[in-house]
Amino acid sequence: MILRLLNHYYLDLGKELIPMLSGLMKALLSVYSTTINSQLLQLIELTLSKILASVGRRYVVGIAWSLVLQYKDCKQSGIKFLSRAIEGMEYIKGEEEFEDERGLSEFN
């Protein structure tokens, strides 16, 4: 029920989800690693893919990695999610422009 509410109301917010993204993904990845209900697993996978598309890969991948490193209950499911997400990713032209605009490229 809660996943349906997330999918219906929250995912349309796009980048406005960023402040709550860490907690949201922690909850999803924790449940994903412990449940055996196949319907729930599919709904969590759908929700994670929608979050990736809605918020953007920069934030989702970064937060997923930090959750994998910080929490035992997110390791297996986080790595599984990241392997699926990263496999389908391609270089996106213009991502480096974001860093240039904020002056971050000078620190590399």
pLDDT in tens, 25-42: 999 999 888 888 888 888
Domain boundaries, the chain: 2-107
For residue 102, is pLDDT > 70? Answer: no
pLDDT at 103 over 80: no
Give the model's pLDDT for residue 100: 47
DSSP string across 21-82: HHHHHHHHHHHHHH---HHHHHHHHHHHHHHHHHH-HHHHHHHHHHHHHH-HHHHHHHHHHH
pTM of the prediction? 0.74
Reported as a single tens digit per residue, the pLDDT across 42-67 is: 898 889 988 988 888 889 999 999 99
